[in-house]
Amino acid sequence: MTSKKNDSDRVIVFDTTLRDAEQTPGASLTVREKVEIAHQLARLNVDVIEAGFPISSDEDFEAVRRIAHEVEGPTICGLSRAIDKDINRAGEALKSAPNPRIHTFIGTSPNHTAMVGKTTDEVLRMAVNAVERAKSYGDDVEFSPMDAARTDRAYLYDVIEATIEAGATTINIPDTVGCAVPEQFGDLITGIRKNVPNIDRAVLSVHCHDDLGMAVINSLTALKNGARQAECTINGLGERAGNAALEEIVMAVSTRGNYFGLHTNVKTRELIATSRLVSQLMGIMVPPNKAIVGANAFAHSSGIHQDGVLKNRENFEIIDPRDVGLDATSIVLTARSGRHALKHRLEKLGHHLSPENLDKTYGRFLKVADKKKEVYDEDLLAIIGDEIRDIPTKYRLEYLHTVSGTGTVPSATVRIRINGTEEVQESAWGDGPVDAAYKAIAKISGTSVQVHEYTIRAVTSGAEAMGEVNVRISRNGAETTGRGASTDIIEASAKAYIDALNRLAARTGIEAQRAQAV
């Protein structure tokens, strides 16, 4: 059965996971990780990928450039302030994209114009100039009056009219600080559609933040009132409390199609894989009760509910779990599973590996399968996170021995290979074996590193479960996270710390290169 779908009822899904969510402190994705997420977003079939903010760093430029070059399907977008050098840099990064979009923005609220010390007339002129310059790189130009939700209405209408006149093809209305409430925000969208004479020449978009927990409902209300692009992120990640969650907007629109009268082109069966990939690579866990993608989103625990679902799924379930990519008949992998089964399972989890990386992962998988017999998806994700890295390994763990127990002083001996050649060994004692190991590693790396956060979780159940450790460290104000996984939690801890040190070293290398270039 095919339903008649009107294109004017289609919501353009604009994913900004790689830009807004990536700005979260500590969420330091490497270029390769960003490209991997972009490929998965293309499989998810989002319409636009905001790949980064090219002027912000050489790494961000490189990520946008590579995504523009190799990710097929979606429009690839780069962010820029309303400043010539930003726009030129974005244009440069997007050069090889078949469908590039420059997204330029300037603050229009009283707070934000005061912040940059400009008058409203000056801001309006900068906005128009920015759109005109962006237009010289391609037809598809998006403009955002930042903090629109707190901008004077009459002035906002003027800015929108002038930027559409200058050639903007999408006008995005951000609730930058997350202060909007649904009725008011919907009314703002209606007001724009009524009062901006040339509004029919642009797509109206929204970008909502979740400071009051209303990002999704504000976005949906805007769509109900005529907006046709929603900016959102996977798992609702983003600055502060985050952005509107892509999976929630998409599934609300599709599940309650009769109410909204809208649809998207998103392939919802890729939602779970995308969520897991982003969670894994960013090192930010999804709460179990999270709508759509949480571990418990389709779990029924009360007896009445379980009985009801068994009789008829629709008694207590509004979404078929398969529609979001939850496969009820997931195969459990064991040491007898072959490479092909592993590859298939990894692809279901959003990881499409090169033959070389598949070999590496398979070797590690066999070791884990020997230890714990059944290997679950979470174990695989931990292995992948641990095994597949593109950051240069300045430090590599060669040997770790710890002593701990009641009545003993916990101590650790660590041997690390530096730059693939020199081997250094140190011992230290501490409050516990992890502390002792960290002190020994710190002696070897010789840097004054501070550990801000240390979390450990068992990724699956049972005594032989894989432990995954995340640490957040800083050195001289530079902050990063590191991950490590093992069935031995002390080893996982040491690996996470060394991973973070390697990420810091990689970043310092890039900064040194840049300093030389200037």
Least separation in angstroms between CB 75 and Mn ion:
19
Nearer to Mn ion, 146 or 397 (CB): 146
**How far apart are CB 209 and Mn ion at their closest, in Å?**
6
For Mn ion, what does the binding mask look like between residues 153 and 192, x meaning CB under 5 A?
----------------------------------------
Smaller CB separation from Mn ion, 233 or 445: 233
Report the C-alpha gap between 454 and 200 in whole angstroms.
Answer: 51
* 26: Cα within 13 Å, side-chain hemisphere: 17
Nearer to Mn ion, 209 or 483 (CB): 209
Half-sphere exposure of 292 (CA within 13 A, CB side): 27
The Cα 386–Cα 469 span in angstroms is 10
Helix (H) or strand (E) holding 385: helix 377-387
Binding span for Mn ion by CB under 5 A among 20-28, 108-116, 125-133, 220-228: 20-28
Q: Does 231 bind Mn ion (CB under 5 A)?
A: no
Compare residues 20 and 86 and give the one whose CB is closer to Mn ion.
Answer: 20
Nearer to Mn ion (CB atom), residue 20 or residue 491: 20
Angle at alpha carbon of residue 485, lines to 421 and 60, rounded to 5°: 75
| Listed ranges 18-26, 95-103, 466-474, 510-518: which one lies at the site for Mn ion (CB under 5 A) | 18-26
Q: Closest distance between Mn ion and the C-beta of residue 251, in Å?
A: 22
Number of residues that bind Mn ion (CB under 5 A): 1
Cβ of residue 242: shortest distance to Mn ion, in angstroms? 9
Q: Which pair of structure tokens corresponds to residue 345?
A: 């399972």
Q: Which is nearer to Mn ion, 24 or 99 (CB)?
A: 24
Q: Does 22 bind Mn ion (CB under 5 A)?
A: no
**How does DSSP assign 121-158, residue by residue?**
HHHHHHHHHHHHHHHTT-S-EEEEEETGGGS-HHHHHH
Residues 253, 13 contacting (CB under 8 angstroms): no
* Closest separation in Å from C-beta 127 to Mn ion: 18
CA nearest 376: which of 285, 295, 269?
Answer: 295
The verdict on 20 binding Mn ion (CB under 5 A) reads: yes
- Cα distance between residue 113 and residue 155, in whole Å: 12
Residue showing tokens 């998006």 = 142
DSSP annotation of 375 reads B
> Shortest Cβ distance from residue 207 to Mn ion (Å)?
6
User: Cβ of residue 232: shortest distance to Mn ion, in angstroms?
Assistant: 10
| DSSP strand pairing (395-403 vs 12-15) | unpaired
Which of 20/22 has CB closer to Mn ion?
20
Question: Which pair of structure tokens corresponds to residue 276?
Answer: 């897991």
Nearest to 501 by CA among 477, 474, 467: 474
At 63, phi and psi to the nearest 5?
Answer: -65, -45
Q: Least separation, in Å, of the C-beta of 71 and Mn ion? A: 22
- Cα–Cα distance for residue pair 309/316, rounded to 1 Å: 6
- Applying CB under 5 A, the span of 13-21, 65-73, 189-197, 476-484 interacting with Mn ion comes to 13-21
Element housing 452 (H / E): strand 450-458
Stretch that binds Mn ion, among 16-24, 145-153, 366-374, 432-440 (CB under 5 A): 16-24
Structure tokens at 413: 């001996």
Tell me the window of 14-22, 318-326, 363-371, 474-482 that interacts with Mn ion (CB under 5 A).
Answer: 14-22
Q: Pick between residue 56 and residue 460 the one whose CB is nearest to Mn ion.
A: 56
- Minimum separation from the CB atom of position 231 to Mn ion (A): 8
Q: What's the rounded Cα separation, in Å, for the pair 82 and 134?
A: 9
Among the listed ranges 6-14, 19-27, 34-42, 392-400, the one in contact with Mn ion (CB under 5 A) is 19-27
Residue nearer to Mn ion on the CB measure, 86 or 377? 86
Please identify, using beta-carbon distances, which residue of 103 and 372 lies nearer to Mn ion. 103
What are the residue ranges of helices labelled H in 196-256? 215-224, 246-255
Q: How far is the CB of 40 from Mn ion (least distance, A)?
A: 21
* 8 Å CB contact between 26 and 480: yes
- Which residue, among 165, 121, 125, 112, has the nearest Cα to 141 in the 3D structure? 165
**Cβ-closest position to Mn ion:** 20
- In the bound state with Mn ion, the residue whose beta carbon lies nearer, of 20 and 499, is 20
Nearest approach, Cβ of 172 to Mn ion (angstroms)? Answer: 10
Applying CB under 5 A, the residues found at the interface with Mn ion are 20
